[in-house]
A and B are shown apart, each in its own frame.
Chain A
Amino acid sequence: MDFLRYGRSPWGETIATHVSWNLFWASLFAGILFFLAHAAYMLFSAHHKRAAAEVDALERSRTDLPPKIERHGLAARLFHWVMAASMFVLLFTAFLPVVGVKFAWVQWHWIAGLVLTASILFHIIHATFFLDFWSIWVGPKDIPEFKAELLRDFGHEIGGPKSGKYPLGNRLYHLAIVVTGLAVTATGLFMLKSVRTPFMVRDPYFIADSWRGFTYVTHGLAGVGLVGLVIAHVYFAVRPEKWWITKAMIFGWITRRQYLEHHEPSRWKVGAGASKSAGHV
């Protein structure tokens, strides 16, 4: 299987020009296989949630909490859905022609790319200055939670740490999206110089052939990677046990019980003890 496609520059050098579309199919099938495997696993797994009695007790002891707890502010939710819409437009305009649905896609693609870039810039500023920036990141501090989650997945009843505002999987996914999203937008902005837009004079010579090849290959790799990542994201968003998270991304809040059932109050402080209650996205 070819991973890259090559061409020759006017100076006779062999340069990488694109990723092979084999990688798109690989990412698509990987995404589909992942959700099939995970769905099958969840059917038969002994994954343990916090016991109902334990949650009842917690709820009785935390009547100081409001019945509805804000998980995502309006700005964060708007960002999320604008980004999601632009991401879908980008993926469909990029890959529908690959699978044989031919249409004039370039203009839609770069417009959606600019929307995505603007929404990411907004998100970076919003998360840095107005939200709890570190709540979404993963690091060594999360190793105990990782161990506890693994054990719970294998059916062990353990009282180890629950997640803070974001489940570990959510934070790992965010990390993957940060890497691919920044790669695809940064390279996309360079590629914008190669197409006609009202914003700048088209000049594909502004970088050398080899760098242009690197840019296209990076854009392609990130793009095909996003296919699998988006499939996984949509899959989790529609899983019944995750609906409370999806609904929170629509309405902004979760119930007190959901908060106590799924989160570690010491890691996501709500109410009087909270520093930035809105957290991250």
Chain B
Amino acid sequence: MAVIRDVMPVFELYQPATIDDALRLLNQHGSDALVLAGGMDSMDWLKDRLHKPKVVVDLGQIKELRGIKEVNGGLEIGAMTPLTEVVKHPMVRDKFSILMQAAELVASPQIRNQGTIGGNVSQDTRCWYYRGGWSCYRAGGNICYADTPTSVNREHAIFDADRCVAVNPSDTAPALVALDAQMVIRGPRGERVVNAESYWIGPGIDITRMNVLQPDELLVAIRIPPTMAGAQFYFEKVRDRQVWDFPLVNVAAAIKPNGSNIGESRLVVNAVAATPKRLHNVEAYINGKPRNEETAKAAGDMAVQGAQTLRHNGYKVPLMRNLVKRAVRGSEGGSWTS
């Protein structure tokens, strides 16, 4: 399909200065409006003319959406805070270093300067059939071009596919789930707070959306409670190009030791499903067990139970198994920090 690149369609640009103004605009224009955060995802859609919004609401002028502040021993990160700022924040580095690690592995330094944490967690999937403008399920059509006997689907889902096999490409998302973060959403009906684990939605629930945001709502902040502060963290991302790429699979683990055993744990893998996949069964298994090779191996094996591969993504099963194993045990690929 011919795609016109670099020439964006005509739209009205609004640059509100407050959250309330932005919400009024979204309420007024509904699904005709596109929310622009850092623009790292949105600009592709606009330049490829695959999204043709009548209105673009640029959040860049809203100061209250930026910045990181300490709240009751945890953090509140404005949705428009650039990833670089997240990486450099001392409290992130000291208490929630898994988020620093994850954010630091997003794309390139230039993109991290411009890209925001709200945009990173809310970005659309990278499935190229979908982003190529074809009428797939996710685009409102009636087929998944990535899940056919002849599809090129090396990067696609091995879990929880429901007609669509696209995956969530965020690096910060699994770290936030591991930290038990909460997403603060504001809309015309007021503010609501959603657990990070419930922020993303799979195709079974809604095949055209990646998260719970309605067209008239904004993600305004991400709250990280002190629950997992100072825990032992592990983050590892495997990608095709080490300099700049989306994850093939990434893993985030937060573990609180109890003596020589694992006390409390939160394990999350991303890029294997349309939502970050929290490994509840593995957590239940490893809690109370010593952190050693045997526990790690069993954890890896458990993690991939139920995986359903496509034609070209079978490698994700051993990759995920090994990442989970290393996350529980620790290894050279990533590192335990606390």
| Residues of A bordering B, CB below 8 Å | 5, 7-10, 12, 15, 17-18, 97, 102-107, 194-196, 201-205, 209, 212-213, 216
Contact = CB atoms under 8 A, between A and B. Distances in A.
A203 B151 CA distance: 11
Contact of A9 (B2, B135, B201): B135
Listed residue (B141, B144, B148) with the most chain A CB atoms within 10 angstroms of its CB: B141
What DSSP secondary structure best describes chain B's contact surface?
Answer: loop
Given A7-B135, A194-B144, A205-B148, 16 more contacts: A7-B134, A7-B141, A8-B134, A8-B135, A10-B1, A10-B134, A12-B2, A17-B135, A18-B140, A18-B142, A102-B201, A102-B205, A104-B204, A106-B163, A195-B163, A216-B142
Contacts of B147: 202, 204
Nearest to B132: A10
Interface residues of B, number: 25
Contact of B205 (A103, A196, A203): A103
A198 to B, nearest CB: 12
Contacts of A8: 1, 133-135
A105 B142 contact: no
Contacts of B145: 10
B135 A15 contact: yes
Contacts of A5: 140
Contacts of B1: 8, 10, 12
A219 to B, nearest CB: 10
Given A7-B135, A8-B134, A205-B150, A194 B205 contact: no
A194 to B, nearest CB: 7
A7 B144 CA distance: 13
A40 B179 CA distance: 60
Contact of B204 (A18, A106, A194, A202): A106
9 contacts: A7-B139, A8-B1, A18-B140, A104-B202, A106-B162, A106-B163, A194-B144, A195-B162, A216-B142
A159 B132 CA distance: 69
Contacts of B150: 205
Interface in B88-147: 133-135, 139-145, 147
Interface of B: 1-2, 133-135, 139-145, 147-150, 161-163, 201-202, 204-206, 308
Contact of B161 (A196, A213, A216): A196
A9 B142 CA distance: 11
A113 to B, nearest CB: 15
Contacts of B163: 106, 194-195
Contacts of A212: 142-143
Nearest to B139: A7
A155 to B, nearest CB: 51
Contacts of B149: 201, 203, 205
Contacts of B308: 196
B140 A17 contact: yes
Contacts of A201: 149
A89 to B, nearest CB: 16
B139 A204 contact: no
B135 A203 contact: no
Contact of A204 (B2, B144, B202, B204): B144
Contacts of A204: 143-144, 147-148
Contacts of B143: 194, 204, 209, 212
Contacts of A194: 142-144, 163
Given A15-B135, A97-B206, A106-B162, A203 B148 contact: yes
Listed residue (B1, B143, B202) with the most chain A CB atoms within 10 angstroms of its CB: B143
A165 B143 CA distance: 46
Nearest to B136: A7
Contacts of A202: 147-148
B135 A105 contact: no
Contacts of B135: 7-9, 15, 17
Nearest to A16: B142
A203 B162 CA distance: 14
A17 B144 contact: no
**8 closest A-B pairs (Cβ-Cβ)?**
A7-B135, A104-B204, A7-B141, A216-B142, A204-B143, A17-B142, A17-B141, A102-B205
B277 to A, nearest CB: 15
Contacts of B148: 202-205
A111 to B, nearest CB: 14
A18 to B, nearest CB: 6
B289 to A, nearest CB: 32
Contacts of A104: 162, 202, 204-205
Nearest to A215: B142
